[in-house]
Every structure is written in structure tokens, then in C-alpha cells.
Amino acid sequence: QVQLQESGPGLVKPSGTLSLTCAVSGGSISSSHWWSWVRQPPGKGLEWIGQIHLGGSTSYSPSLRPRVTISVDTSNNQFSLSLNSLTAADTAVYYCARHNAFSFDYWGRGTLVTVSS
Amino acid sequence: EIVLTQSPGTLSLSQGERATLSCRASQSVSGSFLTWYQQKPGQAPRLLIYGASTRATGIPDRFSGSGSGTDFTLTISRLEPEDFAVYYCQLYDNSAYTFGQGTKLEIK
């Protein structure tokens, strides 16, 4: 059973950079070609942030593209998210997820990131 | 960018009743790219239906999906206590993913 686990700071300062890692266990990150990040502000809906292919290709949400970078580390079975120029609006639970065709079949439990000074 | 609009925002029903949730796209889409998720408080979303009508592994057959073009429906034939949750539809389009705003299914 594939498991995903997000890790990173729970509190970051405004104008700073959020850096999260998603560790994949119970299987190889090569089990799927695509991996994504999704976020959910408290009490609100889901927002897709971006995706990465094992080969390194990426695509991002148009609204976040200027601030987002997703990378993959196949040797350590993980992938990462970097989001800069943070504001309070970036406060959310951040999920990593595995793609299955055009859906997400495995999700991490999520990690709350609060943007505050 | 295609917008997904879910209705109703909140649906109040009793255990054993039938639930019908709607997801409307702002333009015609392929059903192959339409997915439904269930999310309970404090949990990650759970994949229910993909390709508009195919149940994911382990999903009970009381859950069914249908639709085409711009209108898609998630139906729960007989509500069980564990079905009360928030449901999201999601679309893949032009190398990006979009979610609807969600429908909260609550106990009446």
C-alpha cells in the first residue's frame, strides 16, 4: 500500500518561502508517472497547485505559476514543493497526491502551514 | 479556464434516503476527465469515482456517477451514516486540474 507523508515547517513568515517534502513509502515513486500538490485553506475547498512527471516535466496552476516550483528526487523516493512571496492567503493544509490517470488515488494526510509573523 | 459549479451547496437528508449531487462545467468536457471525491473532517479526500462513472477500488456500489457534456451527477442510492461528508468534483483540462467548490451532505 502506497503511503505519502508531507513534512515541513508549520509556520512561515509573510513574504517568505514555503518548502514542503512528500515522502513516498510502500512503493516506488516510479509507480506513477505524475505526482501533485493540492491545498485547502481552513474551512474552504480544494485547490490544485501543480504536478511533476518523473522525467522532471511540470505544470502549475495558472494563478500560482509565478510563485511555485515542484521538484522530484527519485533516489530518495520523494518530491517537493516551494512557494514564495507568501501572504496570509497561502495559509492552508497542503496535501501531496499520486496520480492515477486523471485522478488522485493516494493522498498524504496533509500538513497545515500558517503564514504569520 | 473551465469552471466547475456544484449544487446544492448543502444537502440535508436522512439515513436511507437517496442523494443526488450535481457538478456542472462551464463548457463541454470529456467524462474521461471527471472525478468525484469524498472528504470527511480532518481527513484527506478519498477517490470515489473516476472517468465520470467508474467506481474506485473498494467503493461500495451504492455510489454511482453519471453524466456527459457539461452535467455530471454523483448518486448515493441509500445513505449510510458514514456517507455524510463533503463531496468534490474535479476535472482535468489542458494540463491542469480544477475542483468544484464542494457539496456538504449533512444529516437531516
Give the pLDDT confidence score for residue A60 in this predicted structure.
Answer: 97
Q: Give CA separation, B20 vs A39, A44, A76, B5, in Å.
A: 26, 22, 44, 14
Q: What is the percent of chain B where pLDDT is above 90? A: 98
A115 pLDDT higher than 80? yes
For A52-78, what is each residue's pLDDT tens digit?
A: 998 889 999 999 999 999 999 999 999
B61 — pLDDT class (breaks 50, 70, 90): very high
Q: Do A102 and B32 touch (CB under 8 A)?
A: yes
Q: Which residue of A46, A51, A100 is in closest CB contact with B45? A: A46
Give the pLDDT confidence score for residue B12 in this predicted structure.
Answer: 98
Give the pLDDT confidence score for residue B62 in this predicted structure.
Answer: 98
B39 pLDDT higher than 80? yes
Nearest chain A residue to B43 by CA: give it. A109
Sign of the CA dihedral with B20 first, then B5, A48, and A16 last = negative
A2 pLDDT higher than 80? yes
Cβ-Cβ contacts under 8 Å, A49 against chain B:
none
Give the pLDDT confidence score for residue A30 in this predicted structure.
Answer: 81
Window 33-62 of B, Cβ < 8 Å to A: 33, 35, 37, 39, 43-47, 50-51, 56
Give the pLDDT confidence score for residue B29 in this predicted structure.
Answer: 94
Q: Which residue of A62, A102, A109 is in closest CB contact with B33? A: A102
Q: Which residue of A61, A100, A108 is in closest CB contact with B96? A: A61
| Residue A81 grid cell | 514543493
Cβ-Cβ contacts under 8 Å, B1 against chain A:
62
B88 class by beta-carbon count within 10 Å (0-12 exposed, 13-18 middle, 19+ buried): buried
Q: Do A45 and B100 touch (CB under 8 A)?
A: yes
Give the pLDDT confidence score for residue B15 in this predicted structure.
Answer: 97
Nearest chain B residue to A108 by CA: give it. B44
Cβ-Cβ contacts under 8 Å, B47 against chain A:
100, 103-105
B45 pLDDT higher than 80? yes
| Residue A65 grid cell | 505559476
Which of A58, A99, A102, A111 to mutate: most B Cβ within 10 Å? A102
For A25-46, what is each residue's pLDDT tens digit?
A: 998 888 787 999 999 999 999 9
